[in-house]
């Protein structure tokens, strides 16, 4: 029997492969000078990851009636920004992790200096990818991506995180930190996909903003639960680091059971917000289920 879950899995697999192929063709080849830098960029980006942000771009394009091809640049751009953040986050001056996606972190494989340049180059390439479309909406997409990446987005969230180690944050402060660190790029992924259509209705933007807020928070809560309960092999990165580094998390603040209840609430709210949309929102529903039902 083909279930809605099976349909989504087929859709997700096809679009993950599409994103992987687009990333592979966008990244410079490893035999192009400077070869070591380009090899390290490909190492950091390709062959791993769930491509959730790329899937969000494709799903948002579907919501507004645009073909998947129109969202390729958006999907690539958000995955490049995400990869850049992971490379820098793993470095000794940040979270200092030797493992990422089940293999040595970029700085362990290529050295700190090359890893720093990899992150810088991936960020630049993300914006070039959007600009190279020459689409009328490219400037708006660049604006959205820049805000999500900068001091009022991902970089700002990382700074708050670094300077909150050893401190007990309030729930509001913790949510603000993760709205920046995790939620901002998830929101950008969805909005970039919607703008790929070249035109958007207010109802779509309102929905995607609400959806992204719920799913950005749910993604982080689930990550916190998995860090506390899963092993390193399952995660593909070092497990238990939040507790070791005395970081405030939803688990340390709420406990496991209440954190799981929060994920359930966010998922139910998301499904409710999508109730007014038909099959065009099925991929968004599937992504929400995937984010919230990761095993923990």
pLDDT in tens, the chain (296 residues): 345 688 999 999 999 999 999 999 999 999 999 999 999 999 999 988 899 999 999 999 999 989 999 999 999 999 999 999 999 999 999 989 999 988 999 999 999 999 999 999 999 999 999 999 999 999 999 999 999 999 999 999 999 998 888 888 999 999 999 999 999 999 999 999 999 877 678 889 999 999 999 999 999 999 999 988 877 766 666 666 666 667 789 999 999 999 999 999 999 999 999 998 999 999 999 999 999 987 54
* 27 to 22, 76, 80, 155: CA distances (angstroms): 9, 10, 9, 23
At 247, phi and psi to the nearest 5?
A: -95, 145
Closest C-alpha among 47, 138, 146, 147 to residue 101: 47
Helix, strand, coil shares of the chain as percentages rounded to 5? 70, 0, 25
C-alpha distances in Å from residue 43, one per residue of 19, 23, 24, 27: 16, 12, 11, 10
Q: What are 104's strand-pairing partners?
A: 99
Q: Give yes or no for a contact between 220 and 250, defined as CB atoms under 8 angstroms apart.
A: yes
Q: How far is it, in rounded angstroms, from Cα 228 to Cα 241?
A: 8
Asked if residue 46 lies in contact with residue 27, where contact means CB atoms within 8 angstroms, the answer is yes
Of how many residues is the chain composed?
296
- Asked whether the beta carbons of 145 and 130 are under 8 A apart, the reply is yes
Sorted by where each starts, the structural domains of the chain and their CATH numbers stand as 4-292 (1.10.600.10)
Prediction pTM value? 0.93
- Residue in this structure with the two tokens 């259509």, named with its chain if needed: 197
In angstroms, the CA 128 to CA 235 distance is 31
């Amino acid at each position: 029997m083909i279930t809605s879950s099976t349909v989504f899995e087929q859709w997700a697999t096809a679009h993950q492969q599409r994103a992987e192929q687009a990333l592979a063709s966008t990244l410079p080849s490893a035999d192009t000078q400077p070869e070591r830098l380009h090899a390290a960029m490909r190492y950091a980006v390709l062959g791993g990851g769930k491509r959730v942000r790329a899937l969000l771009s494709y799903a948002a394009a579907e919501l507004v009636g645009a073909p998947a091809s129109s969202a390729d640049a958006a999907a690539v751009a958000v995955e490049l920004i995400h990869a850049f953040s992971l490379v820098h986050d793993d470095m000794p001056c940040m979270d200092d992790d030797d493992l990422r996606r089940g293999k040595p972190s970029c700085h362990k494989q290529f050295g700190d200096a090359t890893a720093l340049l990899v992150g810088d180059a991936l960020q630049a390439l993300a914006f070039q990818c959007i600009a190279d479309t020459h689409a009328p909406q490219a400037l708006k997409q660049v604006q959205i991506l820049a805000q999500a990446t900068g001091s009022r987005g991902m970089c700002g969230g990382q700074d708050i995180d670094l300077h909150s180690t050893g401190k007990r944050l309030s729930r509001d402060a913790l949510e603000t930190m993760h709205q920046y660190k995790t939620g901002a790029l998830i929101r950008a992924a969805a909005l970039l996909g919607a703008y790929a259509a070249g035109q958007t209705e207010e109802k779509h933007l309102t929905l995607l903003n609400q959806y992204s807020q719920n799913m950005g928070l749910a993604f982080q809560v689930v990550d916190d639960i998995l860090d506390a309960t899963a092993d390193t092999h399952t995660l593909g990165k070092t497990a238990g680091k939040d507790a070791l580094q005395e970081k405030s998390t939803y688990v340390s603040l709420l406990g496991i059971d209440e954190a799981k209840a929060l994920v359930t609430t966010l998922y139910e709210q998301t499904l409710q917000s999508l109730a007014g949309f038909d099959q065009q929102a099925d991929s968004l529903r599937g992504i929400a289920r995937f984010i919230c039902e990761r095993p923990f």
